[in-house]
Structure 1
C-alpha cells in the first residue's frame, strides 16, 4: 500500500485495561478532522482483535506488537497484571520501533508525529531521534497526573513528615494546585509500595519526561479542576483538555445489546430511587463486603441494579436473590450498558470503585457517587469526589460494612432536590456538557490538537 499526498502519524498504546480503546476513540475523532493523515495504530494482537472487526479503515491501520509474554502464557491468571506490565515494558521500545518501520514500509510515508499513551515515556526519545513531534495522552484525571509529575517533590515532603503522619492524615500543599489531600489517597506508586517495580518506575520516568512533549492532552474538561489546570498549564506545552471520552467520541466501539433488559426494568422504577452498583471489569469486593453491601440494600429497601459477575453472585447472602430480584425491587446482571443506565431518570446514586471513566460518566449524568476505592487512581479520585467537587461520598472506613453502607445510601438517596449535593451534581453536569458544546473549551482544545498532530502549528 502506498498513499501519496498523506501525512503519517504513529499511535502507541499502553495495552492494558481501558487505555487502548480510549486512545482509539481519540484517533477516530482525529481521522475525519485530519483527512490528510494516515494513522498507524500499534497495540497487542489481543486488543487489536477486540477493537478492529476488520483490517481497519483506509486511514486507521492496526499493527500488532508483542506483549512480551513468554511462549505458552496467556491472559489467564498465570501471570499477574504487574508482571505482565513488566514483561511488556521489557520489549516495548524495540517493538514500537519495529512496528514503525513496518508501517512506514507498508504505507510508503514516513511517520511525521507520534501520538502516544503518556505512560510510554520512552517514546519521547524515539520522537527526538526521528525529529518529529511527540504528543502524549493522559487517560485519567489531573489529580493523579499531578501526583506522578510531582513525585520527587512529594517524596521529599513526605520524608520530612513521615515520623509524624499516617495514611489518614490530611496534608496541606502536598500536591501543587491541591490545597490539601489525604496521605493515603496518593497513588501508592508515588510514596508507598515497591518504588522500584516496573510500573512505579514507568510512572516516575513519565513524570520526568512529559514536559518535553509537544502537547499533552487529557481525558477531562478544564472547568473540573481549575486550580490544577492553572498550575500545570505553564509547565506543559499545549496542555489540552479534549473532553470526557464518553461525551465526545465520534465513533464508539459497538456496545453489547442490553440482553438483561436493564433499561426496561429501570423504566418501571421511581425517579432517582435506584442504586446502580458496578465496580468495572477488574475490581470485585471480597466476599464479606459483598455480603455487607447486600444486607445494606435489603435493610434500607433500596431498589438496585447491580452489575455482578456470576462467580461473585455465589457469595451473596442465602436467599438474597429470591427476596429481592424475585419481588422486582432489585436486579442483578452480569453486565449493564453503563452510560445508558446512568443517564436513566430512575438512577439516584452510583456505587462505584472510582475509576476515572466511571467518574466522568457519573459526572456527565449528574448522578452522585458512593465510592469504594481499590487501587491506582481510585483513592485520589474519591478524594476529589468527596472533598473537592463534593458530588459524592467515600464509604465509611474505605470498605463496605452493613452500617456504613446503610448510612451512605440514606445520606445520598434521602437528600432533597434543593440540597447542596444534588445542586453540585447538576452544576457539574452543566459545566461538562457546556465544555463539549459547539463553543466549549474542549472543542477549541481539540482543534489545537488537530493542528499539532497535522503540523499546522509547527
Structure 2
C-alpha cells in the first residue's frame, strides 16, 4: 500500500461550468491538504485562473469548440459537444500523464464527463466521480428512465401538482428536467451519466449523510459502488476564488451598513436565464417588499438585454440606498454576513448547502435539473424556505420576502434551519459522518 509520504498523484478533470468548478476545486483542496499531489486537467473553454492555485499542476487540453458552440444557449447541447470533442485530447493527455507519474493513484472526474469510463478502463486507472448534486436529486435522476417510460415527464404541466408514486416527496412539476430544445438530448445525457456512474470505482458527494440517510440507502441499492458523503466541501477549506465572473466586493461593505438579518440576497445562479417580464416582476417585488436587498443580475442572464438597462427610469433612485444590484457576488461571504436574512435562490445544490451552513432561510425559484427537487425539499420536507411555485409575480415575491424576514412564520422557518446548520458543523468534527467518510475515501484511494 502506498503511504502519504510518496505523495500519490490524483488527476482531476474539471467540468468548465461555474457550478461544477467550485465543488471540484474544493474537493481538490481537501485532498491536497491530506497529502495528495493534484494535477488538474481542464479545457481551454472557461479555463480556470491557475494563479489562484499555485499548489496544483495544471494541464490544458484543446476542446475544439467553435465560437458559436462556446456560446450555445442550450447547455445540454454544449455538454454533448464537449463530451465528443474532448475524447481524443483527454485520452492523449491521460496517456502522457500516466507515463510521467508512476505514483498516480486515480482519476477524479466530474459526473458530466460521461465519456471518460472507456478511457480510464483502457489505461487501467481507477475513476472516481464527483457528483455535484445531493442524494435526493441523485435518487430522482436514477429513476429517470422509469419516469420517462410511465409518461410522467409529459405531465409536468397538465398534472403539475400530482404526486409522483415512485418519489413520494415530489410532485410532477418537481421532476428533474433538462433545459434543452430536444428531449432526446436530455435522455442521452442521462443515459451517459448513469452508465458512467455504475462503472466507476466510487462516487463522492458534497452532502451531509445525516440529512439524507434514507436517500443514501436507496442510492446504494441502485448503484452498488462505494459512496463517500464528505460535505460540506466549502467548510473544509479556506475560501478561494475560482469564479469565472469578477466578484463585486463592494457588496460586503454595503451589507456592513444594514441591520442584522434584514437583507434579502437574490441570485439565480450561473446558468439560468429569465425573460424581461420576469426580471421586472422580481425587481418590483424586491422594491415593494420595503426590505433591503442585494441582487445579483448576471450579465446576459436576461433574454434580449445586456444587463439591467430595461429597469424603469428612476427605479434605482427610488430605492434610496435600500437595494444594491451587482453583476456577481462573493456568495459564501454574503450568506455568512450578519445582515443577510434570506436568500431568493434558484436552488442549485452549491447555493442550497451554503445557505444551510449559514442558517439562511430560502425563497425557491428553481429552473431545471436538480434545482426542482432541491426546492421541494427546502419548502415541504425540510421546511426551511418558501416556494414561489412557478409564480414570478411581484406581489408573490413581495409577500414571500416579507414573510421570510418580518413574520412569525419566517421566524419558525429560521428555527428549523438552525439544527441543520448544527448538523453541518458536527459532521465535520472527530467522529462525525463526514469526518469518517473522508477518512474512508483517503484509505480507499491509497489502496489502489
TM-score range, shorter chain: 0.7 to 0.9
Q: Secondary structure at the match of 2:341?
A: strand
Match of 1:51 in 2: 49
Q: Of 213, 216, 223, which aligns to 2:210? A: 223
Does the 8 Å contact 1:69/1:84 carry over to 2? no
Shift >6 Å, 4+ stretches: 161-165, 254-258
Q: Distance in 2 between matches of 1:416 and 1:330?
A: 24
Does the 8 Å contact 2:52/2:242 carry over to 1? no
Which deviates more from structure 2 when the two are superposed, residues 259-268 or residues 269-278?
A: 259-268
* Larger RCO (CA under 8 A, 6+ residues apart): 2
Gaps of 5+ in 1: none
Alpha-carbon distance, 1:157 to partner: 3.5
1:274 equivalent in alignment to 2:255: no
Q: Distance in 1 between matches of 2:265 and 2:148?
A: 38
Does the 8 Å contact 1:277/1:306 carry over to 2? yes
Match of 2:408 in 1: 416
**Map of 1:187-206 to 2, 5 A cutoff?**
187-189=176-178, 194-197=182-185, 200-206=187-193
TM-score (norm 1): 0.86
Match of 1:30 in 2: 31
Does the 8 Å contact 1:55/1:62 carry over to 2? no
- Equivalent pairs counted in the alignment come to 436
Match of 2:420 in 1: 428
Gaps of 5+ in 2: 300-305
Q: Distance in 1 between matches of 2:247 and 2:113?
A: 36
Does the 8 Å contact 1:166/1:183 carry over to 2? no
Which deviates more from structure 2 when the two are superposed, residues 337-346 or residues 39-48?
A: 39-48
TM-score (norm 2): 0.87
Alpha-carbon distance, 1:213 to partner: 2.2
* Alpha carbons of structure 1 residues 86 and 165: separation in structure 2 relative to 1, 3 Å: closer
Alpha-carbon distance, 1:260 to partner: 5.1
Does the 8 Å contact 2:178/2:368 carry over to 1? no
Match of 1:39 in 2: 38
Match of 2:128 in 1: 135
1:313 equivalent in alignment to 2:308: yes
1:246 equivalent in alignment to 2:234: yes
* Alpha carbons of structure 1 residues 433 and 303: separation in structure 2 relative to 1, 3 Å: same
Q: Deviations over 1:80-102 (max 9, x none)?
A: 53333222111223222111122
RMSD (Å) for aligned C-alpha atoms: 3.0
Q: Distance in 2 between matches of 1:421 and 1:171?
A: 24
Q: Deviations over 1:400-442 (max 9, x none)?
A: 2112112212221223389431111111111111112333211
Q: Distance in 2 between matches of 1:421 and 1:6?
A: 46
Q: Of 335, 340, 357, which aligns to 1:342? A: 335
1:291 equivalent in alignment to 2:280: yes
Does the 8 Å contact 2:404/2:411 carry over to 1? no
Q: Distance in 2 between matches of 1:164 and 1:251?
A: 39
